[in-house]
Structure 1
Amino acid sequence: MRKALLSFAILFFILSCVQEKPAHITSIIEELNNSESKNVLVAAHRGDWHHAPENSLQGIKNCIAMGVDIVEVDVRKTKDNQLVLMHDASIDRTTNGKGKVSDYSLQQLQEFYLKNNQGGADAALTQYKIPTLEEALLTAKGKVMLNLDKAYGLMNEIWPILQKTGTTDHIILKGGKDASQVIADLSFANKPIFYMPILSSSQENVATKIREHLEAYDPVGFEFILRKNDLVMAESDFIKTNGARVWVNTLWASLCTGHTDAKALENPDENWGWVIQKGANIIQTDYPEKLVQYLEKNGWRNF
């Protein structure tokens, strides 16, 4: 009997440790804050839309299974002021409904179904519904970060949902505002969120703007849009030594001077490898699983 009780106690202890073991989110946040780490973080554009609808809960779950670090999703507000995931202002492309998100209540939106992949006229209808932001946060909780796009002006409404779900440290917000405006808009003293300014290689005085953001608050990174040139990438080492990461999108040509996902599928070294050599240590991609595999194979991902 004593041996049985001891075995049960050991099993209970093991199960307790498993339940209390820090989730993958802990490692992701530690890496995000380690700006000079050799590890490159992977952000999935609108989730895993190759195998599920974009901006869907299943797309987030697929990304978690792949080992993705950040899932980019888009936030819209309904007629009754509920926050849902939807890229477009309308539901035409991605659901079997028609009209603007803002013309429907949440209950009305739940009558529609998401189309597979990126939607469109020929896309198959799925069993999945339009998710709320709260559902997305609960799906991501403890497992993956969410980059909330189209959300800059909604933070006063998003913040209570983050508090409710215990995910205030699970999101990344980005925007193109000047440093002083970011401070005024987001009240960092009361809302300690991860924030990244977005800067373009075609902007004038971009080096000055980088320094203004670094001096005004504590950005977790900078997103660089590489339109006509990659000159802004010369600031990468300075940014990293000052505690921020460098995010580059390889989604389409105008974001990365042509070093796109499509080209990376054929020649990853000259495309994903190129942006890494230039200084990127976060890459947003439409092919997250392949990027994770490429990084692991080349020693740019080990955590």
Structure 2
Amino acid sequence: MIRKFRCGLTAMGLATVATAVTLTSLPASTAAAATPSRFGRIHANLLEHGPKAPLMIAAHRGQWRDAPENSLAAIGAAVEDGAEIVEIDVRPTRDGHLVLMHDETVDRTTDGTGRVADLTLAQIKALHLRQGLGGRQSAVTEHTVPTFEEAMRAVKGRALVNLDKGWPVRERMYEVLKSTGTVDHGLFKGAPTVEEAAAFMAKDPEILYMHIIDDATAGTPGTFPGRQPVAYEIVFDQPEDPQVAPATLEKIARHSRVWINSMWYGLAARYTDEASLRDENLGWQTLAGTYGANMIQTDNVEALDHWRDGGDLSRYGRQPGHRTVRVEGEDYAPGGEGVGYHDLDPNRCTVARPEEGVDICDLEGAIAVNWIRGGEWLKYRFEVKKAGLYQVSARVSSPYSPAGTVVLDWGTGTGTTAPIANTTSHDALTLQPLERRRLARGTHELVLRMPQDAYQNFNLDYLQLDLIGR
């Protein structure tokens, strides 16, 4: 069964393009023989570009929160978590093979070094991928770098694949798609001339192509001869940019889908994944409702899928009812220095409470306490409405190992010591367990202390307490 949710869209211009967006989540399992297959439905949805076209989710570099980016495991996890499209990055090796790698070098994402173009396939296959988004201090895993052919065989019949970085080797990618029977799975993309893109599409009617536009190429829509791109990837850093003018978006929507990226600032102004988690109108709702996005590339696949199915983002990640207490990092107790907090360095950013010393920063839309250092502390007061055993966690981020250590002081001056794990990026906010504690109903006070003798370099989005027992 296909689940549908029609969201209430605000008429902020472009009413003719996005008067309604049908948010659709495809079933995880293959449909019965009498109905179209999962991939058949995905492919049919891709070719639907009208105002009621179902919103499609693209997973940026796969589900890197569960497995290394651009790994076979990340591709599989993205599909399981609700993505109909998996974005991968394709580069050629020295001996002419195609592998999945975002950077020009293998340094960030593997335990090796060197440019992909200078290494043979055998040399790259001997490397192991690092956890998540990589980085020199992230853990090395058992996963290896996939070839493009391996990736297409793994995803066949399950999802579309957005082929990033690959336009220079499009002919070689096309040959792999033909040999694996997946030409209709690959979504080529680039920003070449219209003539070059049209010539490539003319090679095979099954070729799927998405054209990238920005400020300089905003006039491209409507100039393709014959067959049109199946989608346009629109990159804009200001709401006033010409590529997102209502007339331009309306022209695109006549023949193509609208793809917008929400991973970080500058891809779609400030409408990001993290901003969406604070308020849907700061991100995905506006992208769909105002700009007509019916394809969104995200780093938060599960959250976007939850919202697409009608889920309340303000409740995302919480237990139902009164079973979860969430305390934002910036909502520390009043009273100032030495009372509500202790901070050792001058303000580096002041997104909130600028008159105080705590560094409260904007992490691509998330409001978090940054620049945490040893010897600092934050005091929090909150209400527990139901007594019981709680899992106390923190949503944190850091590219370092160790990232930090915290002491949870419930009023005694000492408490449980908990490590903060590497999340592989300053922007990769992740909920990490700290301790389990039995709490009575009523007001509680918690001082989060960062020991002076421990390395500290992490960011805190919020604390979360989930009721797990009585």
Relative to 1, partners in 2 of residues 1:254 and 1:139: Cα closer, same or farther, differing over 3 Å? Answer: same
- Of 104, 116, 139, the residue aligned with 1:89 is 104
| Secondary structure in 2 matching 1:197 | strand
- Of 275, 278, 283, the residue aligned with 1:271 is 283
Q: Find out whether 1:28 has 2:42 as its counterpart.
A: yes
| Secondary structure in 2 matching 1:174 | strand
Deviation at 1:224, TM superposition (A): 0.5
Deviates more, 1:172-181 or 1:17-26: 17-26
Paired residues for 1:179-258 under 5 Å: 179-184=194-199, 186=200, 188-190=202-204, 192-200=206-214, 202-203=215-216, 206=218, 208-213=219-224, 215-231=225-241, 232-233=243-244, 234=246, 235-240=248-253, 242-258=254-270
Q: TM-score, normalised by structure 1?
A: 0.86
Deviates more, 1:48-57 or 1:18-27: 18-27
Partner of 1:8: none
Partner of 1:293: 306
* RMSD (Å) for aligned C-alpha atoms: 1.9
Partner of 2:135: 120
Relative to 1, partners in 2 of residues 1:199 and 1:259: Cα closer, same or farther, differing over 3 Å? Answer: same
- Of 100, 104, 109, the residue aligned with 2:124 is 109
- Of 269, 294, 309, the residue aligned with 1:281 is 294
Deviation at 1:178, TM superposition (A): 2.3
Alpha carbons 1:178, 1:209 under 8 Å: kept: no
Alpha carbons 2:212, 2:233 under 8 Å: kept: yes
Structure with the largest fraction of helix: 1
Alpha carbons 1:180, 1:216 under 8 Å: kept: no
| Secondary structure in 2 matching 1:211 | coil
- Radius of gyration: which is bigger? 2
Q: For structure 2, which runs of at least 5 residues remain unmatched after alignment?
A: 1-30, 313-470
Partner of 2:175: 160
Structure with the largest fraction of strand: 2
| Secondary structure in 1 matching 2:187 | strand
Partner of 1:169: 184
Alpha carbons 1:236, 1:280 under 8 Å: kept: no
Alpha carbons 1:174, 1:195 under 8 Å: kept: yes
Alpha carbons 1:225, 1:256 under 8 Å: kept: yes
Deviation at 1:189, TM superposition (A): 3.4
In structure 1, what is the Cα distance between the partners aligned to 2:132 and 2:238? 30
In structure 1, what is the Cα distance between the partners aligned to 2:67 and 2:190? 27
| Secondary structure in 1 matching 2:297 | strand
| Secondary structure in 1 matching 2:250 | helix
Partner of 1:3: none
Aligned length: 277
Relative to 1, partners in 2 of residues 1:276 and 1:210: Cα closer, same or farther, differing over 3 Å? Answer: same
* Amino acid of the structure 2 residue aligned with 1:138: R
Alpha carbons 2:130, 2:138 under 8 Å: kept: yes
Q: TM-score, normalised by structure 2?
A: 0.56
Q: For structure 1, which runs of at least 5 residues remain unmatched after alignment?
A: 1-16
